[in-house]
Amino acid sequence: MSEEAREIARRFEEAVNSREVPPGLVSDDCVIENVSTAVTDETYVGREGAAKWMRDLLDAFDEDAIFEQEVLRAEDDHVVSLLRFAGRGSHSGAPLELRWVSVLWIGDGRIRRAAGYANRREAFAAADAGR
């Protein structure tokens, strides 16, 4: 497993939990796409897009929500992870949890693309195909 890719995935998790996208984490043309069952089905581009993705996701949750990641595979050019975001609904206060599988594609030490998938099979297939 690629240690650099694992470190980038760790920084991604840290960024979501700190509610801030640090400079250098995502490429200027990074594209983020959600699974169809996510809070939003928008496509996000660049650092500003990554920040908007985070705000859109976080808007559904209270301020104490946590983001967790379990890396399943880390290669030089991608990371496949199980993701979990859990807390309480920002409006209802009811328990709320989202789970999905993510692929982060990496280039030049930054995230150049991120996509969410409903299951492991889809995520691994996309990672293997490079898309």
- Residues 60-102 have pLDDT tens digits of 889 899 999 999 999 999 999 999 999 999 989 999 998 999 9
Q: pLDDT per residue over 113-125, tens digit each?
A: 999 998 999 999 9
Tell me, what's the pLDDT at 36? 61
Where do runs of H (alpha helix) occur along 21-119?
Answer: 46-58
Structure confidence at residue 1 (pLDDT): 58
Pick the CATH number of 3-129 from 3.30.540.10, 3.10.450.50, 3.40.50.2020, 2.50.20.10: 3.10.450.50
Tokens of 101: 């599988």
Please report where in the chains the tokens 């470190």 appear, as a residue.
7
Q: Provide the phi-psi class of 12: left if phi over 0, else alpha when psi is between -120 and 50, else beta.
A: alpha
- pTM for this model (two decimals): 0.90
Other beta carbons within 10 Å of 129: 7
The CA distance from 36 to 108, in Å, is 29
Q: What is the pLDDT of residues 12-29, one digit of tens each?
A: 999 999 999 999 999 999
Average pLDDT score, the chain: 91
CA distance 34 to 130: 17
pLDDT value for 12: 94
Of the candidates 97, 99, 102, the one whose C-alpha atom is nearest the C-alpha of residue 71 is 102
Stated length of the chain: 131
